[in-house]
Amino acid sequence: MLSDSLLKKFDQLIARYPLKRSAMVPLLLYAQDEVGCVSDEVIAEVARRVDVRPIEVIEVIGYYSMLHRKPLGKYNFQVCTNISCMLRGADEVFEHCSNKLGIKHKQTTADGRFSLEEVECLGACCGAPAMQVNYDFYENLTSAKIDAVIDELKRK
Ligand code: FES
């Protein structure tokens, strides 16, 4: 199910920590990148490798909003609507993304390319309003900037 290179990375990550369970979140993130979500199989494999019960992995997944049980779009738009961004137009940013992508909160486009969600602070308050697309940050957003990001991703 998981690639040999990912399993090798698991071994390397686990070896970095005095407690195996400390590697749980990095393992889940790398597995999510490969599989597209944190599937039941991923949970079972990670639990086995860090010596915890699967329910303990599920509890951790419930805490971290960047871990997803269902597949997301290839490009996941996370628009911050927390206080700094809200004061600088985050609601309009989210609405613009929603209209441009044709999807609402926690939805994915029919072609599986884009998903959208409203999230809490991304730690980019100085550049509010901000969003994150996969691992890339975009700050001081305007409608024109959002259009440029989406158009660029559509060309890929
Ligand atoms: S409030 Fe939006 S990045 Fe912090």
**Number of residues that this document lists for the chain:** 156
**pLDDT at residue 136 in the model:** 96
Distance CA 108, CA 30 (A): 21
Three-class secondary structure of residue 148 per DSSP = helix
**pLDDT at residue 154 in the model:** 96
Distance CA 113, CA 70 (A): 14
Distance of CA 87 from the midpoint of ligand 1 (Å) = 10
Closest CA relative to residue 39, chosen from 28, 48, 55: 28
The amino acid at residue 65 is S
Q: Using the atom order of ligand 1, give the atom closest to the CA of residue 85.
A: 2
Could you tell me if 128 and 92 are in contact, meaning their C-beta atoms sit under 8 angstroms apart? no
Query: What would the pLDDT profile of 90-99 be if each residue is shown by its tens digit?
Result: 999 999 999 9
Distance of CA 2 from the midpoint of ligand 1 (Å) = 34
Cis omega (within 30 of 0) for bond into 54: no
Query: What would the pLDDT profile of 39-90 be if each residue is shown by its tens digit?
Result: 999 999 999 999 999 999 999 999 998 899 999 999 999 999 999 999 999 9
Beta strands in 37-97 (DSSP E): 75-80
Distance of CA 90 from the midpoint of ligand 1 (Å) = 9
Domain 75-155 - what CATH class?
alpha beta
Domains 4-63 and 75-155 share a fold: no
pTM: 0.82
Residue 6 φ then ψ, to 5°: -70, -40
**pLDDT at residue 7 in the model:** 95
What residues does each domain of the chain span?
4-63, 75-155
Q: Ligand 1, residues 79, 81, 85: which to mutate, most atoms within 8 A of Cβ?
A: 85
Domain 4-63 sits in CATH at 1.10.10
Q: Ligand 1, residues 78, 82, 139, 141: which to mutate, most atoms within 8 A of Cβ?
A: 82
Q: Which residues line ligand 1 (CB under 6 A)?
A: 80, 82-85, 121-122, 124-125, 128, 130
Distance of CA 141 from the midpoint of ligand 1 (Å) = 12
**pLDDT at residue 9 in the model:** 96
Query: What would the pLDDT profile of 114-150 be if each residue is shown by its tens digit?
Result: 999 999 999 999 999 999 999 999 999 999 999 999 9
Taking the C-alpha atoms of 109, 110, 113 and 114 in order, what is their torsion angle to the nearest 10 degrees? 10
Using the predicted structure, report yes or no on whether residue 17 has a pLDDT greater than 90: yes
For strand 131-133 and strand 75-80, is the pairing parallel, antiparallel, or unpaired? antiparallel
